[in-house]
Amino acid sequence: MCREGILFVLSGPSGAGKGTVLQEVLTRLDNIAVSVSVTTRAPRAGEIDGLHYHFRTHNEFAQMIENGEFLEYVTKFKNRYGTPKSQVEQLLASGKDVILEIETNGATQVRKVFPRAVLIFVTPTNPDELGKRLDKRGSETAESKALRLKIAQRELKCIKYYSYIAINDDLAECTNTTEAIIRAERCRLSRNPELKDKYVNYLKNKQPKE
Amino acid sequence: MCREGILFVLSGPSGAGKGTVLQEVLTRLDNIAVSVSVTTRAPRAGEIDGLHYHFRTHNEFAQMIENGEFLEYVTKFKNRYGTPKSQVEQLLASGKDVILEIETNGATQVRKVFPRAVLIFVTPTNPDELGKRLDKRGSETAESKALRLKIAQRELKCIKYYSYIAINDDLAECTNTTEAIIRAERCRLSRNPELKDKYVNYLKNKQPKE
């Protein structure tokens, strides 16, 4: 129904199960594509360049940043991950919706470039549960725990930039919610100006037939 | 998840099948109530006062208008129909969502009182189809056709006040769309400020446990 594709961003605190929700949602909806990320990390067994990721060296990645080729990029455990801007722009221009599964700070970068992007905060259960999970990781060092807490605090603070929350207490329920958000956004009249005009103008100058 | 209920309005051109969509949606969702309308028309067989409608005389209806008791009201074929404001307000305050199935000019009245109400334009197929339907009613007089066209023109013009469009080509699809809109609106972070604060503040002052 949309002329121009809609950009959806699935994001939220680590361990929220965003990837699983994304895969489930993709099996249920048409006309939506995932953007293939660029990464500097080594391919794992079975991963194909251009399908799972675009695998690039650190130098190549740095060059892409230099060229302004990224919609967003983040560094995570010494590896870098980024979303190529041109790919997303081409898909949207062709009328296809695009969904990105990225980190919260990547999501805030996307929002600056695409203010009409729909940011969905996928979060594991409630914040209490999140706190408990952080405490439970008994095998970690104090430094590692402190770092993890710091990251979680930063991630949660980003919630203010999001339009929707999809609580992942239950995978099926969270998938339903995410699917509903995508379906609803597609039917927003503000995203379908031509359709709106069509209805308003259609009968405007019509005369009754005898 | 919401503290305060959300007001949904199902509305659109006559013959769009709003009533059927409403009944279908109600079987699928919890925590949503329909407001019982007040009308001056005579009860039909099996209709119960207070359940299907609040049946009132023309004088009583006029008095309710006088008292400012209506959220919206319209006159249709010499009968009047209105939504009592207090009922809707009480339901919303108790955290229940409310759904109204009303005429387009009623919907624009609701929007003035509840700017955060979600207006869903339910429409039969596309405008071309709507035009054909108007022409096809062969048994009507020219006057009656002209009046019907005028009403349809007025109804379609109201689309600009709506947030969403739910095209009723197919009842199941239109019900899915309406259900998705309700589910999505419930997860909007702007409608859940306390939830948002809870996430932001939860880990704020937390210290890592040893």
pTM for the model: 0.90
pLDDT mean over A181-201: 89
- The first and second tokens of residue B100, run together, are 């109204």
Judge whether residue B77 has pLDDT over 80. Answer: no
Q: Which of A126, A134, A177 sits opposite B187 (nearest CB)?
A: A177
Residue B201 resides in a domain = no
Residue B133 resides in a domain = yes
Domain count, chain A: 1
Q: Which of A156, A183, A200 sits opposite B202 (nearest CB)?
A: A156
Residue A102 resides in a domain = yes
Q: What is the CATH number of the domain that holds B118?
A: 3.40.50.300
Judge whether residue A207 has pLDDT over 70. Answer: no
pLDDT value, residue B1: 46
Residue B14 resides in a domain = yes
CB contact under 8 A, B164 and A198: no
In whole angstroms, what is the distance from residue A166 CA to residue A173 CA? 9
Of A121 and A137, which is predicted with more confidence? A121
Which helix (H) or strand (E) segment is A178 a member of? helix A171-186
Residue A34 resides in a domain = yes
Task: Give the chain A residue nearest B164 (alpha carbons).
Answer: A188
Residue A207 resides in a domain = no
Q: Which of A188, A208, A210 sits opposite B149 (nearest CB)?
A: A208
Residue B83 near residue B72, CB atoms below 8 Å: yes
Residue A62 resides in a domain = yes
Three-state SS at B119 = strand
Residue B51 near residue B36, CB atoms below 8 Å: yes
pLDDT mean over B48-62: 94
In whole angstroms, what is the distance from residue B177 CA to residue A188 CA? 11
Residue A127 near residue A21, CB atoms below 8 Å: no
CB contact under 8 A, B156 and A199: yes
Give pLDDT tens digits for A26-78.
Answer: 999 999 999 999 999 999 999 999 988 999 999 999 999 999 999 999 998 78
Judge whether residue B104 has pLDDT over 70. Answer: yes
Residue B143 resides in a domain = yes
Give pLDDT tens digits for B4-35.
Answer: 899 999 998 877 888 899 999 999 999 999 99
Domain coverage including residue A162: 7-196
